[in-house]
Amino acid sequence: MPSNWFTEKHEASGSSIGYRVDDKLAEASTPFQHIEIYRTTDWGNLMVIDGCVMLTSRDNFLYHEMMTHPALYTHAAPRNVVIIGGGDCGTLREVLRHPDVESVVQIDIDEQVTRLAEKYFPELCESNADPRAKLLFDDGIKYMADAAPDSLDVVFVDSTDPVGPAEGLFNAKFYASCFRALREGGILVQQSESPLVLLDLIQSMHKAMREVGFSTTRTLPFPQPCYPTGWWSCTLARKGGGLDAFREQDAAAKPFATRYYNADMHRAALAQPEFMRSALHT
């Protein structure tokens, strides 16, 4: 029997990535996007949105751990957290591993992403019923625009690429809403694509974040096999204070298991490759 493959072509990098699949498990068209779930032969389940790979069972831990733990261990005492996007709930799960976090509101515009994740990626949704969590299916841009000033400690923007529903999450107007909602010392974290081929986007993010008042910005690269080029990043911006120091002892003694993140990996991610250092002035 011939093998079937799902392949994503990435025009920006002139490359593609593919997975051998043996079944399509689900498919849904929503008012916002087209979602597909496949079963792969080697990478577990695969979620695809509008033809782009979102996550696999096998390697999503890299993204979810690096999106969350560096910021939460940099903040002195993160209590109130918001996640914009993050419908697969992996980021929510990682945030809720921190016992000092008191509340997490997740706002994703498309409820179907979460419902499909609950069925096909249940391990990512194991904390959805945590009493500290509140899941909303609404417009995250409007939510942040309406957020009370000085009410949040960390905002995670766990979005798709900056097109379609996520396009409005990559500009100064949105960053200004986040800056206003964060308390002093608060941190904004945004997934920021591949530094290898989209460094110009990351540069524009740093510029816009600093223009609205964030004192420090830093991009942390990490491996991500399922995304274009196999190398991804998140960008942090802080409202007062720096991003080089973190609670290393707490990270080293974290009361939960991880597969990638630890204090050494956090420290290593702060060391910038030369081309990023020169481009981002860090």
Domain ranges, ordered by start, for the chain = 4-56, 60-280
CATH 2.30.140.10 fits 4-56, yes or no: yes
CATH of 60-280, one of 3.40.640.10, 3.40.50.720, 3.20.20.140, 3.40.50.150: 3.40.50.150
Between CA 140 and CA 146 the distance in angstroms is 10
* pLDDT per residue as tens, the chain (282 positions): 357 999 999 888 899 999 999 999 999 999 999 999 999 999 999 999 999 999 999 999 999 999 999 999 999 999 999 999 999 999 999 999 999 999 999 999 999 999 999 999 999 999 999 999 999 999 999 999 999 999 999 999 997 655 455 456 668 999 999 999 999 999 999 999 999 999 999 999 999 999 999 999 999 999 999 999 999 999 999 999 999 999 999 999 999 999 999 999 999 999 999 999 989 875
The C-alpha angle 235, 49, 217, rounded to 5 degrees, equals: 5
The structure tokens 């918001």 sit at 82
Of the candidates 130, 158, 244, 264, the residue annotated as catalytic is 158
**For residues 258 and 66, is the Cβ–Cβ distance under 8 A?**
no
- Look at residues 18, 78, 71 and name the one whose alpha carbon lies nearest to residue 245: 71
110 flagged as catalytic: no
Q: Where are the beta strands (DSSP E) in the chain?
A: 4-10, 15-29, 34-40, 45-49, 52-56, 80-85, 103-107, 133-136, 152-158, 182-191, 216-223, 231-238
The structure tokens 């990490």 sit at 222
Largest CA distance in the chain: 60
